[in-house]
Amino acid sequence: MLNLPAPFINLLDPFKPVFDARTWNKVIILVMGAILTPGKRSVTAALGVMGLRFEQQFAKYHQVLNRNVWSSLKCSQIMLRLLLSYLDQGSEPLVFGIDETIERRTGAKLKARGIYRDPVRSSKSHFVKASGLRWMSMMWLAKIPWAERRWALPFLTALCPSERYYEHAPRQHKKLTDWARQLIFQLRRCLPHRWLVIVADNSYAALDLLHACQSLANPVTMITRLRLDAALYDPAPPYAGIGRPRKKGQRLPTPQHHLEASDTAWHAVEVSWYDGQTRTMEMASQTAVWFHYGKSAVPIRWVLVRDPQGKYETICLLCTDDDVLPQQIVDWFVLRWQIEVTFEESRRHLGVETQRQWSDLAIARTTPCLLALFSWITLVAHLFHQSDHPISPNSTAWYTKSLPTFSDALAVVRLELWSNLPTFETSPVDADVSKVPRPLLHYLLDALCYAA
Q: What are the φ/ψ torsions at residue 235 (nearest 5 degrees)?
A: -60, 155
Gyration radius of the chain over CA positions = 25
The C-alpha angle with vertex 217 and arms to 153 and 328, in degrees rounded to 5, equals 50
What are the residue ranges in the chain where pLDDT is below 70?
Answer: 1, 421-437, 439-440, 443-444, 446-448, 450-452
Q: Contact, 97 vs 200, CB < 8 A?
A: yes
Provide the total of helices (H) and of strands (E) in the chain, helices listed first: 13, 12
* Cα angle, residue 369 at apex, residues 223 and 356 outer, rounded to 5°: 120
Residue 304's SS3 state is strand
From CA 10, how far away is CA 331, in angstroms rounded? 34
- Torsion over CA of 177, 182, 185 and 190, rounded to 10 degrees? -140
**DSSP category for residue 318:** E
2 secondary structure, DSSP code: -
**Three-class secondary structure of residue 233 per DSSP:** strand
Write out the DSSP string of 129-191: EEEEEEEEEEEEEEEETTTTEEEEEEEEEEE---GGGGGGSSSPP--HHHHHHHHHHHHHHHS
pLDDT at 196: 97
Q: Say how far apart CA 352 and CA 350 lie, in whole Å.
A: 6
Q: What is the C-alpha to C-alpha distance for residues 64 and 19, in angstroms, rounded to an integer?
A: 10
For the entire predicted model, the pTM comes to 0.91
Answer for the pair 342, 115: CB distance below 8 angstroms, yes or no: no
Could you tell me the residue ranges of all domains in the chain? 225-325
What DSSP line would sit under 321-347, residue for residue? -TTS-HHHHHHHHHTTHHHHHHHHHHH
pLDDT tens digits, 269-294? 999 888 778 899 999 999 999 999 98
pLDDT reported for residue 126: 81
pLDDT tens digits, 175-231 = 999 999 999 999 999 999 999 999 999 999 999 999 999 999 999 999 999 999 999
Judge contact between 126 and 154, C-beta under 8 A: no
What per-residue confidence (pLDDT) applies to 67? 93
Q: Which of 282, 289, 291, 273 is nearest to 322 (CA)?
A: 289
Which residues neighbour 204 within 8 Å (Cβ) at sequence distance 6 or greater?
Answer: 98, 176, 177, 180, 222, 224
Average per-residue pLDDT for the chain: 89
Q: Of 88, 66, 98, which Cα lies nearest the Cα of 355? A: 66
Q: How far apart are alpha carbons 328 and 417 in whole angstroms?
A: 41
Contact 41, 34 (CB under 8 A): yes
DSSP state, residue 369: H
d(CA 152, CA 143): 9
